[in-house]
Amino acid sequence: EALTKFGMRLGTAFQLTDDTLDYVTREDDCGKTIGMDLKEGKITLPLIRTFKKCTPDEKDRIEKAVQDGGEDSVQEITSLINTYKGIEYSLEKAGRLVEEGKSFLEIFEDSTPKKALLAISDYVIQRKL
């Protein structure tokens, strides 16, 4: 049960970090094209956070960008995500999930497998941004 809880939190943290990479990394760095989630109409936490915080006019622009999947909107939406700290919010949430996950490993004695799980946990939130 502890490993299941650990794994669920780590998996969610991995996905949240991956969602942020879509807005802040270059394809050369991690193989992701910037804005691909937006182009595909995927609503991720950085965008959700931004949508909750932005003005009605900005909400309209976000909705249009998601519907159109337009290449032209990526830079504008990325700028809004930066303005409303969608990346920081998502990474903080990922960090909290990793720490929660690690706490479930405390019941296990120190061992090579435990150290490996802890190292993987740290890597998840330190991926190239």
* Chain segment 28-38, per-residue pLDDT in tens: 555 667 888 88
pTM value is 0.87
Q: What is the pLDDT of residue 56?
A: 98
**Domains in the chain and their CATH numbers?**
2-126 (1.10.600.10)
**Side-chain half-sphere of 4: how many Cα atoms within 13 Å?**
1
- R_g over Cα of the chain: 17
Q: What is the pLDDT of residue 128?
A: 56
- 92: enclosing H helix or E strand: helix 86-103
